[in-house]
Amino acid sequence: MPGQGTELRTAVADRQIGWIERLPERWQDYATLARWDRPIGTWLLLLPCWWGQALANEMPSPWLMLLFGIGAIAMRGAGCTVNDLADRDFDRRVARTRNRPLASGRLGTKEALLFVAAQMAVGGLVLLAMNGTAALVAISSIPLIVAYPFMKRITYWPQAFLGITFNWGALVGFAAATGTLSAAALLLYAAGFFWTLGYDTLYAHQDKEDDALIGVKSTALLLGDATGRWVRGFYGIMLALLAGAGFLAGKGPLFWVGLLPVAWHLFAQTRNLRLDDPADCLARFRSNRDAGLLVLAALALGSIAF
């Protein structure tokens, strides 16, 4: 029916209507598929890359930061497309996702696979501009990207697998800046893992009722009303690992000062949780962009010598 496609596009419940409305109608679906209208996921993928650079006892290179920005947009889009391909049958049964392009049928499998290939090609061009160690570390994450969408079918800890995948950039960023890896980089990666466990558990509370009905697993369902205590624990471990990474990397006094606002932000994020309020959970989840920027600032400040 005339106008039906546009009506469905604007009815995607978790879509942030904005600049993509200016795109041709077909590209609006591709933009929604890649989550170009929802930059928070790109930020959460990008920030660990920048952390890895900043950990390397030098101020982050603007060129590398730009490359990681382009790569994060491309790889996050590819990962979301793979995720929607795997979940299209589930998404049709969840109110928040049933009008996504693949779930609604506005895009087909062939179109989605070609879109994945195009985005992966952009990511590949970014890797060509980096050293061999960074490129090798980045390529080794591809199996994780492909496997992640299936974890919610087999474990109540898909958020843990997301943490393993999403924070791989900390290792890539450090390798891009130094040409190697170190124990400090591994601790930073582990800190990101626990950060993701916390924020994605909060995010998962938006869908817990639908997930329970269709048999999809998550830490939100597993932890239930105890989520607040668990998330505070995850964030506490994250802070301890960040401190360990900074210590091993020889960060200066400003790093330790910079950790204080990080700790305060994470504490405030877990106060007065309303786990049955999807809007509250989403707002707290999105606030992690600011948490990640505070971590980046602490790492960068720690490289300033007195």
> pTM here?
0.90
Which range, of 125-129, 150-154, 172-176, 201-205, averages the lowest pLDDT?
150-154
Residue 121 has pLDDT above 60, yes or no: yes
Domain membership of residue 15 (yes or no) is no
Vertex 139: Cα angle to 286 and 293 (nearest 5): 25
Q: How many CB atoms lie within 10 A of CB 173?
A: 32
Residue 230 is assigned to a structural domain of this protein: yes
Per-residue pLDDT tens over the stretch 70-89: 999 999 999 999 989 888 88
306 domain residue, yes or no? no
Number of structural domains (the chain) is 1
Lowest mean pLDDT among 8-12, 168-172, 233-237: 8-12
pLDDT of residue 94: 76
CATH code: domain of residue 115:
1.10.357.140
* pLDDT at position 8: 47
Res. 96 pLDDT band, cuts 50 70 90: confident
Q: Which domain holds residue 57?
A: 4-9+20-301
State pLDDT tens for residues 37-67. Answer: 889 999 999 999 999 999 997 777 899 999 9
Residue 289 pLDDT exceeds 80: yes
pLDDT value of residue 149: 82
Given this model, what pLDDT does residue 60 score? 76
* 246 domain residue, yes or no: yes
Q: Confidence band (pLDDT; 50, 70, 90) for 16?
A: low
**14 within some domain:** no
